[in-house]
A and B are shown apart, each in its own frame.
Chain A
Amino acid sequence: MAKITMREAISQALSEEMDRDPAVFIMGEEVGVWGGTYAVTKGFYDKYGPNRIKDTPIAENAIIGGAIGAAMVGQRPVAELMTINFAFSAMDYVVNQASKLHYMFGGQFTLPLVIRAVGGGGRQLGATHSQTPDAIFAHFPGLKVVSPGTPEDAKGLLKSAIRSNDPILFIEHATMYQVRGDVPDGEYLISIGKSKVQREGKDLTIVTYCKGLELSMKAAEELSKEGIEAEIVDLRTLRPLDMEPVLESFKKTNRAIVVEEGWKSYGVGSEIVSRIYEEAFDFVDAPIIRIAQKEVPLPYNRTLEQAALPQVPDIIAAAKEVLK
């Protein structure tokens, strides 16, 4: 067990899986000679060479389409999208091909494919480079969508994703690469599709994932000083969605808020709240509140951008509101 960054945890997962299985290779923009635009694959090119660390043209259809083809014939590519915003250029491959080829051909093709993508706002990159569109991708059956909130989960989930025979979109947050946490050395696997209680509490349930986990943990510490103990359930996987820990927690606290970085309308929170109302209506003691991004394209200006993104005080205020 060592305290390492999210970046190191992801890097470790990739290199361990490449060492373990020669079918695993990486392809994407600037993953090789450059070392990865977020330095996740720094040193990989020298260690593994150009055949296993493939620098691609800036051509997202070729990257994801190409990775799909290679996966169909038995390789295990990890394709990297420099940012998830570029997934829109390759939308057909993510939602129309990766998520459907197994089903549509009666199970003949399998796609052991991981698409790593960096998402999230907060870096003043302007509206087209700062999105958190996770819910869009989680909408499609056939695709699995994973988005870790701690270095430990990042390592365990990515290693499992690479070993999975399903196409998996693995979403990392651009502002979380320096987050530190305890991560087990070597072999460490976490099942895809399992939510986890990251903090125990009795007064209310906060359902969240990825960046929302970081914010919610901070909010919970503040609330604790005022005698409010929040239980935090981290979804970790958006599809398939594991509601069991959420419902179990809610049946105990009877009050919940949902925290996500994407827009509120048609978002992850909408799904979670609907499911709670459908499956635990008798346990509802207060209307559930959704914390999400303001309904605007993210602006460049730092003050405006931060005003649009969910913040710790928003969570604290919502927690007090549901406890009224």
Chain B
Amino acid sequence: MKLALTVNGAPVAGEIEDRMTLADFVRDHCGLTGTHLGCEHGVCGACSVLVDGEPVRACITLAAAVDGRAVTTIEGFEDDAAMAVIRECFSEAHGLQCGFCTPGMVIMVRDALARGCCGSEHQIRDQLAGNLCRCTGYAGIVKATEMARDRLAKAG
């Protein structure tokens, strides 16, 4: 089928198989390999991207179902002030080890911070429970999120 949507602000069109997932579309069709595929059945959260500004799991979202919508992958946050702070904090607080889960992780952190759901460590862990880090580096991830929360609050 024919598909036309916006990816990271730019229009993208193409002919795809109906069964293609959004994750395969951004990786294979758009060449945006920052979206990582861990489990491919909606368990690990590594493939999280935004559709019309809301996070979804690209491996269990059909590309066909987001025809006409605006998709943002990890490559699309270059001019995003909140993401710049989150990246800085993940670096400083050792929020990543191998880095495979990081694109999905920071996209979910950005969303949880924007919704004001990161008041306590417990809340942060609850919000990020759907994103698995196989290095088990959760302590650093939680610390980086707390750091980003406080810096963003200070910046207003």
Partners in one complex: no
**Residues of A with Cβ closer than 8 Å to B?**
none
